[in-house]
Chains A and B, each alone.
Chain A
Amino acid sequence: MENRFFVDSERLSKEALEKKHRLETDPSSRKDYMEYLQGMERIESDVCKNVIDQMNSFDYMKYTARDVKAALEHETCSIEDFKALLSPAAEPFLEKMAQRARLETSKHFGNTVYLFTPLYIANYCENYCVYCGFNCYNDIKRMKLSMEQIEHEMKVISDSGMEEILILTGESRAKSDVKYIGEACKLARKYFRMVGIEIYPVNTDEYRYLRDCGADYVTVFQETYDAEKYETLHLLGHKRVWPYRFDAQERALMGGMRGVAFSALLGLSDFRKDALASALHVYYLQRKYPHAEMSLSCPRLRPIVNNDKINPLDVGEKQLCQIICAYRIFLPYVGITVSSRESAEFRNGIVKIAATKVSAGVSTGIGDHESKYTGKESDGREGDEQFEIADNRSLDKMYDDITGEGLQPVLNDYLYV
């Protein structure tokens, strides 16, 4: 594995450093990533097998311009058509794909764009995922907000006009248990009309509990559907257990959640295969739970600028746009979220084609909304950020920009019943 992610903190003890290096270099020192840990619920489901079989047999080099043209002519996009649209052969057809995607988006969503903001309430983490800023070996300022602090953050965000919130934590059951997250959801219901969560995967009964607390949309990123690659990136902790993570959305739906969101972090492995698997994960679950609402996010590892050895698997803006258009054509009814990791220019462009949801007023740090929103000097008691964002537009600015593009910003489209 390339060494582009490994960072050794000076503050790690000798023992910790040794363990870290052993995990990085000696696969036999890691736990079996396919084996469930104690307490993890196992459900009967054929969704995973369906998705992975399709992914493994996906040979994107065999598709030709003819397949792409045929895919664009078909009224309903089949799985085979979708594969053609994800293939390198589709790259010269990007503009045509964008036009078709826009048509599908307008049929299902009109010209609306939904707005939301994430709220990180804790950044403790028990996992060693080599690419993540929150990983347990990384020397960052850790923080877990108290209920008073959470409420304060929510007030600041709510005062900005935001009506939908996504509550996030680092993946630590010990520091941020389900009850803590549930209490945060109860508070959120006081200030917001729609509450989603992006937390570590939990069992069905825990999803049901969180639903009763007021959350009803669950986002879990699989990071990569390539389980062998996953194993080399998630070296320690419960997140290492790949199949338990895969079934998280299904458990959430079994627990009564209204909707679920999916994603691969494109660029961790072969992005075309990951894009195929992400969409098929949605596709097969939708067939099983036709009432559920589903959405896809599209984060990517950015290609390294000025890297002269161009990696053919890097996800540039064109590739990202191709994937998003293919998602839209294959799954016209799903929401597509584009995060603030992307630039304002990219987000302005992609909402006109296929994206239906964007974040605004984003901070990935802990407890810093007041200083970021109001300019009030921070008291230094803030937790570090998970990643840097590229689009830091406030809600007001985003609202105006979207309106200026001829689209209609929507702050909420949901009613708890």
Chain B
Amino acid sequence: MKEDKLIIGGREFGSRFILGSGKYSLNLIEAAIKYAGAEIITLAVRRANTKEQENILDHIPKGVTLLPNTSGARTAEEAVRIARLARELGCGDFVKIEIMRDSKYLLPDNNETVRATEMLAKEGFVVMPYMYPDIYAARDLVNAGAATVMPLAAPIGSNKGLAAKEFIQILIDEIDLPIIVDAGIGKPSQACEAMEMGAAAIMANTALATAGDIPKMAAAFRQAIEAGRSAYLAGLGRVLTRGASASDPLTGFLRD
């Protein structure tokens, strides 16, 4: 059987769990790598820009791909500048675009995100845009040169799980790039459900960072994501509706 790999920007990954940025600590990074199996770790450039985080960067093992994000950017131009800075800092060519013009809900601005994707793809970046799950924006991102599409499941930090489930399913069905579900995943069961639907990977941070036992929760996410992926690959079986079927067939009136 062919090995099941996640391929982004020509690079192969065995793990489908990506550690998001936000609540960072050495413990969390170690747990994400060791117990959740993360091979990609997001890094907020705005926070990487500090003395203590430089220290944390030293602890990221070789072989783990750093995914710098552009959080703090409010326009495409600002996102481009942050991406270039990340490249200068030695973070490589991967970049996750985050552009928010709302400090209350932190929802991504799809228009600016499409513009930034186009500019950065032209500069040779492997662009992973965080977006609001809208089919038109997703198609525009594909045309702009995105390497993946990363729809939010629910408002960030809300732990509401797959609130945007129907719209994410449309992206999975219609977009040929890997769909990585980002933001709002609060529990392993939600991650599992997204994987069953055909998501290519899951990004999470808060769910791990605020867990009582971080290593244990990291392991739970790994298992949930693997289970969901296997179920998707296996093909979900039919689901029988409950209750008896109608005694008179609906098609009984047909004559021949």
Contact = CB atoms under 8 A, between A and B. Distances in A.
Interface of A: 106-108, 110-112, 161, 163, 193, 286, 290-294, 333, 408, 410-415, 417
A286 B50 CA distance: 28
Contacts of A415: 45-46, 49, 72, 82, 85
A412 B48 CA distance: 9
B205 to A, nearest CB: 8
Interface of B: 22-25, 44-47, 49-52, 72-74, 78, 81-82, 85, 100-106, 157-159, 205-206, 209-210
A291 B102 contact: yes
Q: Is the interface of A mostly helix, strand, loop or mixed?
A: loop
B103 A333 contact: yes
A284 to B, nearest CB: 13
Contacts of B73: 417
A286 B100 CA distance: 14
A415 B46 CA distance: 5
A408 B157 contact: no
Contacts, number: 69
Given A106-B206, A107-B157, A110-B157, 16 more contacts: A106-B210, A108-B157, A110-B22, A110-B209, A111-B23, A193-B50, A286-B104, A290-B103, A291-B74, A292-B103, A333-B104, A408-B24, A413-B46, A415-B49, A417-B78, A417-B81
Contacts of B45: 415
A112 B23 contact: yes
A293 B106 CA distance: 11
Given A112-B23, A417-B73, A412 B50 contact: yes
A408 B23 contact: yes
B119 to A, nearest CB: 14
A412 B47 contact: yes
A294 B209 CA distance: 24
Contacts of A108: 157
B102 A290 contact: yes
Contacts of B205: 110
Contact of A161 (B51, B81, B206, B210): B51
Nearest to B27: A408
13 contacts: A107-B206, A110-B23, A110-B210, A193-B50, A290-B104, A291-B102, A292-B103, A333-B106, A408-B23, A408-B25, A410-B50, A411-B52, A417-B81
B158 A107 contact: yes
B117 to A, nearest CB: 17
Which 8 residue pairs spanning A and B have beta carbons closest together? Answer: A110-B23, A415-B46, A417-B78, A107-B157, A412-B50, A291-B101, A290-B102, A333-B104
A78 to B, nearest CB: 15
B80 to A, nearest CB: 9
A207 B128 CA distance: 36
A410 B103 contact: no
B72 A290 contact: no
A286 B103 contact: yes
Nearest to B45: A415
Contacts of A412: 46-47, 49-50
Contacts of A411: 50-52
Nearest to A413: B47
A412 B81 CA distance: 19
Contacts of A413: 44, 46-47
Contacts of A294: 103
Contacts of B24: 408
A39 to B, nearest CB: 31
